[in-house]
Structure 1
């Protein structure tokens, strides 16, 4: 029995793989690896595909120096800048998304964290969504504390997002204005406030394979069940503007190995999918069972109808997963 079959059977039997086993899987034949990952996905998750959309609720002038981000005030990029979007527009977009079949809508804001006054304003928007639209609300508001998350939960949000971005070892190479532990603290505060949590990272920042595996193991240790996997879209003006794009084979291998390490999670294709020639289909056949549809924060994405057509063709059924 080869390493792929050995690891697949171990995962199906309930064993958690460790770093050395995951590193071995990185050397396995790609098609064999992807097929096994898809079997694991079917066993633990069935055919439910968790699809969500995001809205850029506050854009630009971010104090943080994340090297991949067009919204950082540290870099010269060409993006639209605006303060918190008003409630009417946030609700309008939520309605539009729900009418297209979206089940979860995430409000994302730039900056280290929202102020208390901004949290109060966005809570009004969340309440308005819940009063007028049949859709789940997720928030990505930065490094909030438990009291702020409790307000957001009371307003009607059900999930909070905060990406770890990369491994603990590599994170200081990505951002110096906040720490890996501050991100973990925000996730824990959201969970203590009664919200489910969503966290993942970005591939293609210059990290090693070991860093990618370490990130997955950290997410597993934190019991994160919704895991966005972004592939870097190099943006002019940022320090990572010249980073080479990952190959399609590398992307599929990352997704497949993540499925081995995180068998019962939503592995969500996120940023960078719009640059993929097959719009992510190869990754959806390699263990991914979730995606962000529509445009990303500052880059173009894939339309909801295009995604729904693809999912239907692949045998998936759109639905909420890991609530």
Structure 2
């Protein structure tokens, strides 16, 4: 571990020199890339330097212990040694976490898709509840939300809705929401008071820069048509809605929320790129996923990851066996307790892999 940290610290210092080079400063691309790399290394370097400082404090204080007979000085030195020794284990754990391989998508914006699944009208109402929950969560983080496409149901909620969440680290938090969500409650239309179980699926995709996915113009078909709202009423009289078809994969994306055809095309293309990227990622990971299921689940959309039980005001995340009696707060977007627990579980699993690899 310490050899790796030495390499990281040396690279950090090298980046300091590069970022002071006039040729680099005048090159916006290199300046951006080097600045980001240094920022990514900052915390590991800070922790390593704190660790080395504590070790130095212990060594220097122990040397001074043998050179002084003053009781007050001896007590002070012993306290310094004790404090430093207490800090070292925590610093070591934090440094290990910094050495865990980072998900390259963690800092990216998110494209989310929610669909009502089993349960008819109630499933679509639940899809609307989930959209509201994620919207509130995003607002609490200061993130921006943009609806790409929405198909409302007659009873309220959505048959399906896709939207973008833009904000630093959005994917790192929301990636755990990928999967099937289940709700247990008495629908408003249920006269007998019986509890129904319904599901909605949530897909979470990182927004992808177009350069990361090779999409040829000849592989795309772009159609325009009039946007329409509920009941078939025209939102406007121009062909502003856009439908993009990608022939090699058969994927189709539409966007009609904006009045501008250009904006709808941009949004639809972003979703298309993200879906193609997601498809390629899943294909690449398919063999690995067969051998080992991660601690937080495969992320497959058919997997039931969480249950929202209204009669008992209980939310259970089945991947880690976490049950919280705070349903009202959670559906209002207070997801930190669940997401933090899932993050810790993932980090613990990766730490175990790291430790096993070092043996």
With structure 2 as the length reference, what TM-score do the two structures score? 0.24
Larger strand percent: 2
Using CA pairs under 8 Å that are at least 6 residues apart, name the structure with larger relative contact order, 1 or 2: 1
With structure 1 as the length reference, what TM-score do the two structures score? 0.26
Structure with the greater alpha carbon radius of gyration: 2
Larger helix percent: 2
